[in-house]
Amino acid sequence: MKARLLVALLLLACAGIAASCRQKLAAAKADPLSRAYDTEQDWNDPRRVISLSYQQAQGKRVFYQYCVWCHADATPAGPSNRSNLNPMPPLANDGAVFNSLSDDLLRNIITLGGSAVGKSALMPPWGNTLKQDDINAVISFYRAIAQPFYQPPARPGPQYSVR
Amino acid sequence: MLPEEMGKVSRRFRKIFAASSVIFVAVLAVSPVRDYLRSWKRYERAYVRFAQSRPDTKRLLADFRLEISQIWIPKMDVVDRCTTCHQGITEPSLQDSSVPQPFRAHPPIPHRVRDWGCVICHRGQGLATEVRDAHETTLAWEQPILPVQYIQASCAECHREDLPQTPRLNRGRELLAGLNCVGCHRLQGIERPAMLGPDLTNVGSKVSRQWIYKWLKDPRTILASDGSMVVNGYEDEGEPRMPKFRLSESELVALSSYLSTLQKEKPQPYKFDPRVVAAWEKRPDLLEQGETRFRQMFCITCHSLAVIRAGETRLIGGDIGPELTKVASKVNPDWLVAWLRNPQAYLPHAEMPRYQWSDQDLFTVTRYIESKLTDASLLTDVPNLGTPTPAEVQLGRRLFLEKGCGSCHAIQGVAPQADYGPDLSSLGGKTVSQLEFGKAKIPHTLVAYIEAKVTDPLSVNAAARMPQYSLKSSDLTALTTALLSMSGSPATAGLESLILPAERPQFRPAGAFGELYERYKCYVCHRFNGYGGTLAPDLSFEGSRAQRKWIAEFLKNPQTLRPTLIFRMPQFNIPMEEASVLADYLSMVMQTPNVNLAGTETKSFTPDMVNLGKQLYAVKYQCQACHTIGSTGGYVGPDLSNVGNWMNAAWIEEWLKDPQLLVPDAIEPRRSFTDEERTALTAYLMTLKQSGAVQAPGGTGRGQ
């Protein structure tokens, strides 16, 4: 009788200790925008707000300084240069154009200019002006605002989850 | 004792001994078991299993050891153990968003995690090794993780200068300075400016008591959905700087009474030339002419007006000066004329330039303002206030100080109030126990406190004296970010040495140029050696860029240079002598050492060079994508049709080498031209000259 009680007590103690070791892992789920470094309004749907990471936010900054003039229909100064060019440059959020181009190709177009990859020479080379980080950031910004959405190419290797 | 009794006792002892041995072993086992079950160890073992499932296992586990890993930054007095669980934080192959947390790599940032750790930016407890202790507020650990939307606050820990990477923080600092928060609070890195709200010494000569009453009751009026407008002051991008005070009826009566008695001197009515009055008074196009001049002088570069466009009432124009839609119902007509002639006579710190008025312009423009920018029903809902009584005036004078009005507004003979509100220079470093939450139903964290306080000052303290600001949600986030960045003086000397201070350059030239610089307030829009506004081009190197003759012509007759920019330079009617003083100074003094004006000889340019340059421009480099010559080309860069009369050849050559060396935020990409190509392009551009380049002024105010 006594022995049984002792064993039960021991088991309880062990269970208690084990339980105290487990901490609550689920953190409060916050508003997704409060976890964003910056945001950008969807160009096609003004009600949708896209949250941007640090890199995408830097891309947004570079885009609105250098690229917006020819790759958007509305610019900070009002009129856009886009309709003025022939061939007309694609809109930055045009997923139909950009989603099929790899990051490497986009990097080359931006760095070396359109003529280096057999596209229009109206696209100047930015390799001397922008840092490699800036160019990568701009690409990540394009990916973030793409319509239809951009799906990154699948990576090799099985995916694993902690839980 | 009998042997059998002995046996009984020893059996009982044996039982007790056995039981206590089991308990002893169990107690001994608690410690290793607890140690084995520590959450960081579970995460580390999970990381090993995770790494084994990845193709680059070897690399991922190269530095792995089953122990607490930490980053120690002695200079900043920081020890971070975050990498104990966040094992993959520096692994480039774990950037993908499909990688489960806590193993995902940090997205690319300018600082290396190994050099700076985590808590310097993210806050939280670097020493903690339990999930909750590290990220949240618990009993012993007070500083929670900073929500990512406010993370730019941490950049200010070292970077006191505005960075291009932190737009939210910069906007918050701009708001803190622009809304004059330093009038009442002490803030880190923001000096109390000499110019606060308007000086009220003579306000009774400017506006009526009824208007003061209405303004104090609600200094910002929401534009009604039907387009009806009630008071000067609209809800728009440019916030009126005056916040709303919660004043009772008797306080409104007393304050309006006191302020309306502040009349040092009444403005003398200006005597217009009788010939001008006689000629214009009866003309049917008097108001039309006034409006035309009003537009041509580009008043809306700084002031805004409500207009109806496509059935929608909108404010257009700048936010440097106050909005003017109903200004004639606000100010006394004699005051208006006196103000336009010399704003600094009424308000020495006014940013408004002193225009050169002809009597005709002054007469037509003021007539236009008086009859068009007005609303007879503006003050109809103000009760009958009568004449100020001495009791009201006395109460008003007391209220002026009690409400903290003296923190922003000066009145001659009233001592300025400083530190009316609490010191906020170390608000961002405060712990929860130092904050008063009152009855507010908000999470007890510093972030929630600041958010609540700036949204509604009464929510955390019903007796707060702080007035109500109404800010857009993006501005609230920016303001909260800037307040969180006020972390007080650095805790260690090592930290102090890491701070990159903000530079506050001044540019106050003396002499004849200095006088004109003050008169036309060039620095309100233009920047000179890092000092001044950002609305208009930086003129620090104008002397290297533009030819002296062109500068003088431009000042007499400003016109747009860049097709995509909204043209905003007012026409000051600068006389010839003044234009040449300004042009002399700008061309001689405002130069960059990177451009040697004597180094490029335009005479050496040959027609062959010009032809080559023309080809390069049009075919190889396709400069017409961004630049216009004549009537064809792009809108991004400046119009080059007259560049031969405008720019110096040496500037163009240097510019083609590296535009960002001359203007750091220039849009033009740096191309790899050969020396020959560069000279050819310069030679071609210098041949582009328009005869009679001076166009009719104004008329090109695009987008306005």
Q: Do B669 and A53 touch (CB under 8 A)?
A: no
B residues 550..589 contacting A (CB < 8 A): 563-566
- What is the arithmetic mean of pLDDT over B63-87? 87
B residues 85..104 contacting A (CB < 8 A): 96, 98, 100, 103
- What the block records as the tokens of B221 is 């009026």
Look at strands B531-532 and B628-629 and give their pairing.
Answer: unpaired
Residue A81 is part of which domain span?
36-145
pLDDT value, residue A32: 62
Residues of chain A with Cβ-Cβ distance to B34 below 8 Å are: 17, 21
Whether residue A4 lies inside any domain: the answer is no
When pLDDT is cut at 50, 70 and 90, the band that residue B54 belongs to is confident
At B549, which helix (H) or strand (E)?
Answer: helix B548-556
Alpha helices in B147-284 (DSSP H): 152-155, 167-178, 209-217, 249-260, 274-281
Helix (H, G, I), strand (E, B), or coil: what is residue B190? Answer: strand
**Comparing C-alpha atoms, which of A138, A66, A51, A13 is closest to residue B665?**
A66
Distance, in Å, from the CA atom of A112 to the CA atom of A124, rounded to the nearest integer, reads 8
Q: Which of A33, A66, A126 sits opposite B149 (nearest CB)?
A: A33
Q: pLDDT for B25-51, tens place per residue?
A: 999 999 899 888 888 899 999 999 998
Q: Are B350 and B342 in contact (CB under 8 A)?
A: no
Residues of chain A with Cβ-Cβ distance to B703 below 8 Å are: 77-79
Q: Are B64 and B48 in contact (CB under 8 A)?
A: yes
Share of chain B above pLDDT 70, in %: 92
Whether residue A162 lies inside any domain: the answer is no
Q: pLDDT for B418-463, tens place per residue?
A: 788 889 988 988 888 888 888 888 888 888 899 999 988 888 888 8
Q: pLDDT for B280-316, tens place per residue?
A: 888 888 899 999 989 888 888 888 887 777 666 677 7
Distance, in Å, from the CA atom of B466 to the CA atom of B112, rounded to the nearest integer, reads 42
Closest residue on chain A to B151 (Cα): A37
Domains of chain B by start residue, with CATH: 39-145 (no CATH), 167-192+421-498 (2.60.40.420), 203-372 (1.10.760), 511-589 (1.10.760.10), 597-686 (1.10.760.10)
Higher-pLDDT residue of B173, B133: B173
Whether residue A150 lies inside any domain: the answer is no
Residues of chain B with Cβ-Cβ distance to A24 below 8 Å are: 131-132
Q: Do B46 and A18 touch (CB under 8 A)?
A: no
Whether residue A163 lies inside any domain: the answer is no
Phi, psi of B414 (to 5 degrees): -110, 125
Distance, in Å, from the CA atom of A125 to the CA atom of A110, rounded to the nearest integer, reads 6
Measure in Å the smallest separation between the Cα of B702 and chain A Cα atoms: 9
Q: Are B651 and B596 in contact (CB under 8 A)?
A: no
When pLDDT is cut at 50, 70 and 90, the band that residue B491 belongs to is low
Phi, psi of B217 (to 5 degrees): -65, -45
Distance, in Å, from the CA atom of B491 to the CA atom of B651, rounded to the nearest integer, reads 48
Other Cβ atoms less than 10 A from the Cβ of B141: the count is 17
B residues 633..692 contacting A (CB < 8 A): 633-636, 659-660, 665, 667, 669-672
Q: Do A23 and B131 touch (CB under 8 A)?
A: yes
Q: Are A57 and A64 in contact (CB under 8 A)?
A: no
- Return the bridge partners of B316, or none: B305
At B78, which helix (H) or strand (E)?
Answer: strand B78-80
When pLDDT is cut at 50, 70 and 90, the band that residue B153 belongs to is very high
Distance, in Å, from the CA atom of A51 to the CA atom of A40, rounded to the nearest integer, reads 7
Q: Which of A53-67, A90-104, B435-449, B561-575 comes out lowest in average pLDDT?
A: B561-575
> Of the segments A41-50, B14-23, B465-474, which one has the largest average pLDDT value?
B14-23
3-state helix, strand, coil in chain B (%, to 5): 45, 5, 50
pLDDT value, residue B523: 93
Measure in Å the smallest separation between the Cα of A22 and chain B Cα atoms: 7
Whether residue A29 lies inside any domain: the answer is no
Q: Are B332 and B206 in contact (CB under 8 A)?
A: yes
Q: Are B568 and B298 in contact (CB under 8 A)?
A: yes
pLDDT value, residue B227: 42
At B309, which helix (H) or strand (E)?
Answer: strand B304-309
Q: Which of B26, B107, B165 sits opposite A13 (nearest CB)?
A: B26
Task: Count helices and strands (H / E) in chain A.
Answer: 6, 2
Instruction: Quote the number of domains for chain A.
Output: 1
Whether residue A103 lies inside any domain: the answer is yes
- What is the arithmetic mean of pLDDT over A96-116? 92
Q: Say yes or no to pLDDT of A27 above 60.
A: no
pLDDT value, residue A46: 83
Higher-pLDDT residue of B221, B201: B201
Whether residue A98 lies inside any domain: the answer is yes
Handedness of CA A125, A130, A136, A139 (dihedral sign): negative
Higher-pLDDT residue of B421, A24: B421
CATH code, A44: 1.10.760.10
Which residues have C-beta within 8 Å of that of residue B430, sequence separation ≥ 6? B446
pLDDT value, residue B311: 64
Chain A interface includes B35 (CB < 8 A)? no
- What the block records as the tokens of B542 is 């104008």
Q: Say yes or no to pLDDT of A158 above 70.
A: no
Chain A interface includes B620 (CB < 8 A)? yes
When pLDDT is cut at 50, 70 and 90, the band that residue B684 belongs to is very high
Q: Do A21 and B26 touch (CB under 8 A)?
A: no
pLDDT value, residue B228: 46
pLDDT value, residue B616: 93
Distance, in Å, from the CA atom of B546 to the CA atom of B502, rounded to the nearest integer, reads 31
CA end-to-end span of chain B: 117
- What is the arithmetic mean of pLDDT over B651-666? 92
Which residues have C-beta within 8 Å of that of residue B648, sequence separation ≥ 6? B544, B545, B546, B547, B595, B597, B600
Q: Which of B37, B108, B149 sits opposite A21 (nearest CB)?
A: B37
pLDDT value, residue B240: 65
B residues 48..77 contacting A (CB < 8 A): 49-50, 53-55
* Cα B280–chain centre separation: 44
Whether residue A124 lies inside any domain: the answer is yes
Q: Label each residue of B46-73 as H, E or C.
A: HHHHHHHCCCCHHHHCCCCCCCCCCEEE
Q: Which of B168, B636, B669 sits opposite A125 (nearest CB)?
A: B669
pLDDT value, residue A155: 57
Count of CB contacts below 8 A, A vs B? 146
Let me know if A152 is exposed, middle or buried by CB neighbors in 10 A (0-12, 13-18, 19+). Answer: exposed
Distance, in Å, from the CA atom of B530 to the CA atom of B506, rounded to the nearest integer, reads 8
Q: Do A85 and B565 touch (CB under 8 A)?
A: no
Q: Which of B30, B108, B671 sits opposite A55 (nearest CB)?
A: B108
Phi, psi of B85 (to 5 degrees): -95, -40
Measure in Å the smallest separation between the Cα of B287 and chain A Cα atoms: 30
**Comparing C-alpha atoms, which of B138, B154, B155, B156 is closest to residue B146?**
B154
Q: Do B165 and A156 touch (CB under 8 A)?
A: no
Amino acid code (one letter) for B395: L
